[in-house]
Copies of this chain bind each other. A is one copy, B any other.
Amino acid sequence: MSTFAPLKNDTFLRALLRQPTDHTPVWLMRQAGRYLPEYRATRERAGSFLGLAKNPDYATEVTLQPLERFPLDAAILFSDILTVPDAMGLGLYFADGEGPKFERPLRTEADVMALRAPDLGSLDYVFNAVTQIRGALDGRVPLIGFSGSPWTLACYMVEGGGSKEFHTIKKMLYNRPDLMHHILAINAAAVADYLNAQIDAGAQAVMIFDSWGGALADGAYQQFSLAYMAQVLAKLKRDKDGVRIPAVVFTKGGGLWLDQIADIGADAVGLDWTVNLGRARALVGQKVALQGNLDPAILFANPDQIRAEVETVLTSYGKPAAGEGHVFNLGHGISQFTPPESVSAMVEAVHSFSRAQRATL
């Protein structure tokens, strides 16, 4: 039995499970982050991004910061997407202003064949953070655990860092699909174990971020990203102490494949802002809930405009019918340059407009 406090606000979990809610729940990808001055202060104290991400006290502190400001309906573990390949020994580091990089990317057949599943013990700092955050939340809202998708992790592992065109990994994919599948199978098992350990530690929902699935061609996406997310989902614990643990998958730029993504066994699918929510809802029916999809750039507009655009998104989805669910979110992580007041206006608008919408016939 769980020793954590009972949930006071389960709106987010109910929406993911396509149960009725009295408003549309809202959270933001990267809601704990650089746009908040209090986050920047904590990071300053931590000395570095990894110093912050690897310390459960700091991770707890920043995870809770946005909840102090905004009435968000979920918290998400503060961590890095690349903890798993780091634990595989690839040597994660952050070059100044350049984003994440690996000291030992997978470039040769020997590199690939030497790849091993990570020692989950070396990721205890993540699981400890999950438990500590869940305790600190004290039942206010649910805690989301997360991982990069097998394909997205592989992009960083092979490219050695971020990429615009993904030529290195695509060259491997097309010339040596056997090596690509070898990496992805290891990643899928590792991601499933990693998410299951987060669930054991206290995560109440999990999300798989397929940030780079949209870089793949039709056909390649299904073989090299979607199939491995399906493997992860098949291995996930979906029940903890008798409570369903919903799983969300999000392929940025994957709107064209929504019907196929909705078929791999997730409870909900994330959508970016290029997708028409009304069309998406009609397409998936009662198969999955949907999460998204405001363009984060709208948070640079004035509050009146933000409210208008929130209403456009909520109207596009419409009032959820029985067996449907919608979680409001951005279509991508919030920009570090976002004024925090914009987030206030957005969250308030989501709550008030969606309550009014549910009151209509």
Contacts and interface: CB of A to CB of B under 8 A. Distances in A.
Contacts of A220: 295
Interface residues of A, number: 37
Contacts of A214: 274
A331 B218 CA distance: 11
Given A253-B253, A273-B218, A302 B175 contact: yes
A294 B294 CA distance: 30
A110 interface: no
Interface of A: 165-167, 170-171, 174-175, 214, 216-221, 253, 255-256, 273-277, 294-298, 300-302, 305, 309, 312, 316, 331, 335, 337
B300 A171 contact: yes
Contacts of A305: 174-175
Contact of A167 (B167, B175, B256, B337): B337
Contacts of A165: 296-297, 335
28 contacts: A165-B297, A166-B297, A167-B300, A170-B295, A170-B298, A171-B297, A171-B300, A171-B301, A174-B297, A174-B298, A174-B301, A174-B305, A174-B309, A175-B300, A175-B301, A214-B274, A217-B273, A217-B274, A217-B298, A218-B273, A218-B274, A218-B275, A218-B276, A218-B277, A219-B316, A220-B295, A253-B253, A256-B276
